[in-house]
Amino acid sequence: MAEDRAQCIMSTPVGSFLLEEDGIGICRAEFLQEEKERTEPSTALLQEAVCQLQEYFAGTRREFTLPISVQGTEFQLDDWAALQEIPYGTTCSYQQIAEAIGRPEAVRAVGMANHANPVSIFIPCHRVIGKNGKLTGYGGGLDRKQFLLDLEKRFR
């Protein structure tokens, strides 16, 4: 962790979730592979991120209003912007994302960009599924992806 970054770990219904901010916005948000002890948010932005995620998991928040601070290639940034356009409680395919960013042949590259998404949930890569409707790839694990999709469908 860089010195100018702050982080905390929150508990969610599907495991420990790491949040990190860089003074500009949320720059990292990911499920941890192992359960970790919850830590208190040390900045107002982390406190707000925890609050908004708690509301999301309770089914009372459908959109996030936090500043996001991510860096990536032009393709990744285009992909992540397209992911943020997927409405709460719905899914789309990797092919649809590739077409949305004007690169219909880049389906696999979309999958790689989704995998590189540094702010899970806030940039909702969990809403992307295979063209055949099956769950594919998710850095937090397919069980968590299914949980998030089911949560959003339940509160849509």
Domain harbouring 105, CATH code: 1.10.10.10
Is 13 a domain residue? yes
Q: Which of 8, 27, 92, 125 is catalytic?
A: 125
Is 66 a domain residue? no
154, containing H or E segment: helix 142-155
Is 65 a domain residue? no
Q: In the chain, pLDDT over 70 holds for what percent of residues? A: 98
Q: How far is residue 61 CA from its own chain's centroid? A: 14
Let me know whether 98 and 49 are in one domain: no
Let me know whether 30 and 83 are in one domain: no
Give 71-125 pLDDT, tens digit per residue. 999 999 999 999 999 999 999 999 999 999 999 999 999 999 999 999 999 999 9
pLDDT band at 54 (very low <50, low <70, confident <90, very high): very high
Is 50 a domain residue? yes
Query: Amino acid letter at 145?
Result: K
Q: Look at residue 29 and give its three-state secondary structure.
A: strand
Let me know whether 41 and 99 are in one domain: no
| DSSP-assigned letters across all residues of 41-63 | --SHHHHHHHHHHHHHHHT--SS
Domain count, the chain: 2
- Catalytic status, residue 125: yes
Let me know whether 135 and 91 are in one domain: yes
Q: In the chain, pLDDT over 90 holds for what percent of residues? A: 91
pLDDT of residue 4: 83
Is 68 a domain residue? no
State which residues form the domain around 106.
74-155
pLDDT band at 2 (very low <50, low <70, confident <90, very high): low
